[in-house]
């Protein structure tokens, strides 16, 4: 069941509907605001639209890299496979 949550991004309050628990919605809100602050403080021009676009591009790049890593059987999967092999040999 989706619940309405109030989040604030760049000082603007938004009403969003999500089936995620409130804690997860707050974690996403904090993550987004931290990233926006990080990018905004690195720019001379604090244009909100530019900050949002750069944050979107950065987060999208990270997401695509994580997906690609998961498809290749990322480092965690490789470590788990090595551990399983060791356990099977024991």
Instruction: Tell me what pLDDT residue 55 has.
Output: 94
φ, ψ dihedrals at 8, nearest 5°: -120, 125
Instruction: Tell me what pLDDT residue 68 has.
Output: 83
Residues 11-65: pLDDT tens digits?
999 999 999 999 999 999 999 999 999 999 998 887 899 999 999 999 999 989 8
pTM for the whole thing?
A: 0.73
Residues 56-79: pLDDT tens digits?
999 999 989 888 877 776 666 667
Domain that holds residue 56: 3-89
Domain count, the chain: 1
- Residue 11, classified by CB atoms within 10 Å of its CB into exposed (0-12), middle (13-18) or buried (19+), is exposed
Mapped to the 3 state alphabet, what secondary structure does the chain carry? CCEEEEEEECCEEEEEEECCCHHHHHHHHHHHHHHHHHHHHHCCCCCHHHHHHHHHHHHHHHHHHHHHHHHCCCHHHHHHHHHHHHHHHC
Q: Is the pLDDT of residue 90 over 90?
A: no
């Amino acid at each position: 069941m989706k619940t309405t949550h109030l989040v604030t991004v760049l000082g603007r309050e938004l009403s969003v509907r999500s089936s995620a628990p409130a804690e997860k919605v707050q974690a996403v809100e904090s993550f987004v605001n931290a990233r926006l602050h990080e990018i905004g403080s690195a720019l001379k021009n604090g244009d909100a639209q530019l900050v949002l676009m750069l944050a979107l591009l950065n987060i999208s790049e990270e997401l695509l890299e994580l997906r690609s890593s998961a498809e290749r059987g990322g480092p965690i999967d490789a470590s788990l496979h090595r551990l399983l092999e060791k356990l099977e040999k024991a």
